[in-house]
Amino acid sequence: MIDIKFLRENPEVVKENIKKKFQDDKLPLVDEVIALDEARRKSQQEADDIKSQKNKISKEIGALMAQGKKEEAEKLKEEVAKDAEKLKELEDKQREFEEKTTKIMMVIPNIIDPTVPIGKDDSENVEIKRYGEPVVPDFEIPYHTEIMEKFNGIDIDSAGKVAGNGFYYLMGDIARLHSAVIAYARDFMIDRGFTYCVPPFMIRSNVVTGVMSFAEMDAMMYKIEGEDLYLIGTSEHSMIGKFIDTITPEENLPLTLTSYSPCFRKEKGAHGIEERGVYRIHQFEKQEMIVVCKPEDSKMWFDKLWQNTVDLFRSMDIPVRTIECCSGDLADLKVKSYDVEAWSPRQKKYFEVGSCSNLGDAQARRLKIRIKDKDNNKYFAHTLNNTVVAPPRMLIAFLENHLQADGSVTIPEVLRPYMGGKDVLK
């Protein structure tokens, strides 16, 4: 959420940013916010004047009572009572203006970083760099669920009977591989100085609206009926929520956490044929990383975060590339975002396996996550998040890149301790 003072002083900058995100229908909201803010401040000034007058009259009443002029004092008391009614009306108006302003500000997109490429949608995202040599073997690679089925490693039919579409049972070595990747990713991030955390898997509505836009919430979140709770769609939401309404001394920054959690998503909308199987599902597990830092450090941490994911995948001999999301593909709270995509030898193209985002102070402003400097000045933190690994998609990349002509799957050295020493699955 943008600072109201910034919007008031730079309305054209905010409007230009809306245009860059191709959301021209939101342009009138800027003027609406300015009008509401002006009305609120006018009401505030009127209320302050009444309070000042009230204090002045109260002193006069005291003086009159001391002089025994009770009748005159009573008249002034009546005036004070009328002012109190007026003051309540003004305060009610102020709350109304503030609520309307906040509601509108929640849908005005954050100011994007000047380095973000301008484009309408993900088709205009920009490749940054490739890591590792993409290989297409001289034998046919089956669809990922077919590979898993040959190891008796997946049962989608039974899961459909139990929970419906978008669920699965993982079995045997494939289930073990799934857990091995999560455990390895956990230790990988701990070795990089991040504190391991298992967060709540449900969050309240005020945290939901603090970390994401209404549109994202509607498309992703499952609501717990009868309670003010939502199942998390990704653990960075409860991880950032951990710092709601806190003030952290500068010397304690940065806060770097890595978390494990299951994730639950509606996944509204139709998707392509390549999203069958375990590519896009309602339930999966993930290792995540988040950072809370000083504003001047967020660019540096952004580069560190996406590099962690690249390094993790390369340590398992999976070729990847980084893609910068263009302006039109950025969620409203994001300042800048990279996707990490893994190579698919079967499709002969890359596909998304992780997303790294710098949200500036947008989440911190909504959730009141503040920093205190040595002079006791307080300001909003910057928050960042990135996927370490989400095994369902990781499994697709892993199995395709490590499948051998005889149907076996090789296990890279870094994963063998988590697979009981196995170097190959047969």
Q: What is the pTM of this model?
A: 0.89
pLDDT at 270 (0 to 100): 44
Sign of dihedral through CA atoms 167, 170, 174, 178? positive
Residues 353, 343: Cα–Cα separation, whole Å? 10
Mean pLDDT over residues 294-299, rounded? Answer: 97
Mean pLDDT over residues 279-284, rounded? Answer: 89
DSSP per-residue string spanning 354-389: EEEEE-TTHHHHHHTEEEE-TT--EEE-EEEEEEEE
Per residue in 20-54, pLDDT (tens digit) is 999 999 999 999 999 999 988 888 888 777 777 76
Q: Which domains does the chain have, with CATH numbers?
A: 4-105 (1.10.287.40), 122-425 (3.30.930.10)
Q: Which residues contact 89 (CB under 8 A, 6 or more apart)?
A: none
C-alpha dist (Å) from residue 337 to 61, 115, 116: 63, 11, 8
Angle between helices 11-20 and 27-66 (to 10 degrees): 150
Per residue in 355-398, pLDDT (tens digit) is 999 999 999 999 999 999 999 999 999 999 999 999 889 999 99
Residue 273's pLDDT band (cuts 50, 70, 90): very low
Per residue in 120-170, pLDDT (tens digit) is 999 999 999 999 999 999 999 999 999 999 999 999 999 999 998 889 999
Angle between helices 298-315 and 172-191 (to 10 degrees): 140
Per residue in 104-125, pLDDT (tens digit) is 999 999 999 999 999 999 999 9
**Closest to 238 measured CA to CA, from 265, 211, 267:** 211
What is the rounded average pLDDT for all residues in the chain?
A: 91
pLDDT at 77 (0 to 100): 66
